[in-house]
Amino acid sequence: MILGWLRLFAMTLILLTVVYFLVSIYSRSVRREKLEKRWLSEGLEGDRDAWIEAGMKAYDKGLKKRLLWLIYIVPVVAFWVIIYAVNW
C-alpha cells in the first residue's frame, strides 16, 4: 500500500518537473518578447541586447519567477492533505 503511494508521488513529481520547465520556458519567452516590444515602442538607444539581458536578470530575481515554485508546492500540499484526511 505504501509502495503504491510512493510510486504515485514519484510520478507526480516527475510530471510536475516537466510542467515547471515548460511553464518556465514559456514565461521567460513572454518576458523577453515584452522587453523587445518595449525597446521598439519607446525608441530607446544603446545596446539592445544588453538592455534585454538586464531586464531578464531582473526577471530572474523577481516575484513572478519565484511564484513558479507554486507548481510544486500546491499539488504536493494537496496530496498530503488528502492522504491525511482519508487515513486519519
Q: Which tens digit of pLDDT belongs to each residue from 10-20?
A: 999 999 999 99
Q: What is the pTM assigned to this prediction? A: 0.81
> According to the 3-state scheme, what is the secondary structure of the chain?
CHHHHHHHHHHHHHHHHHHHHHHHHHHHHHHHHHHHHHHHHHCCCCCHHHHHHHHHHHHHCCHHHHHCCHHHHHHHHHHHHHHHHHHC
Distance CA 63, CA 54 (A): 16
Residue 22: its pLDDT value, please?
Answer: 97
Going from N- to C-terminal start, the domains of the chain cover: 2-87
Mean pLDDT of the chain: 92
Tens of pLDDT, residues 28-77? 999 999 999 999 998 888 889 999 999 999 999 999 889 999 999 999 99
